[in-house]
Every structure is written in structure tokens, then in C-alpha cells.
Amino acid sequence: MSHDKTLGAHLERAIAIGQLDKKAVFDLADRIQDLRIAPARVDWCIYGICLDYVVPRGRIGGFLRELVDRLRVADRLEVFPLGIPVPELWRVQVISDARTGASPGLIESQR
């Protein structure tokens, strides 16, 4: 299955389960669909939509630059190593507010 079809299927599931705004979710998908690394996990979360990437240590800098360029409107970006068991991998999580009826900046005001 292609990267685009897999991402689309995961996003459709997240929309159905999490009562997310379809337009907001697919707008996010348009911005990230051609990243060189596919999300390892796509799911809804308390803040909207959460995308988890697993990135090798040697590619983390380039991936973050590419990601930040595309996600100028992302509400939150978290980066941390996977730890002692797998020190060469980093987890990058993008959290975007795509909840139905959510107001822009809501997450920012809760920090």
C-alpha cells in the first residue's frame, strides 16, 4: 500500500473516532503527505490529531527542518529520544488541533 493511501486511511479512522474536523485534518495531510518519512502512528488525541514519527538520529535535523517548514500552523511539536533500548532513534510527535468546533489558539492558551 502506498504512503498516501496509508496516511489517508489512518486519517479517515481518526476523523471517525475522534470527532475531528475533516477539512482541518486533510489540510494537515496535504502539508505532510510528501515528507520523506511516513508517520509511524496517526491517531486522534485530546488536542485533535497526533502524528508520531520515528526518525534515525542521523536524519533528525533535516527531518525537523523539513517538518517545521510545512507545519507553520502546528499547535505543538515534541521531539525526544526513544531512550536506552533504542538510542539511535528519536520520536517526533506533531499535535494539531483539528477538533470539531475548536477555536484557533485554544491549545496555546492552555499551556
pLDDT in tens, 87-107: 899 999 988 877 655 544 433
Question: Can you tell me whether residue 100 is helix, strand or coil?
Answer: coil
Give pLDDT tens digits for 64-83.
988 888 765 556 889 999 88
Report, in angstroms and rounded to the nearest whole number, the Rg of the chain calculated over CA atoms.
14
Higher pLDDT, 26 or 75: 26
N-term to C-term CA, the chain: 38
* pTM (2 d.p.): 0.72
Domains and CATH numbers, the chain: 3-110 (3.30.70)
Beta strands in the chain (DSSP E): 41-45, 48-56, 76-81, 89-96
The partner residues of 96 in beta bridges, in order of sequence, read 49
DSSP code of residue 36: S
Give pLDDT tens digits for 5-15.
677 777 777 77
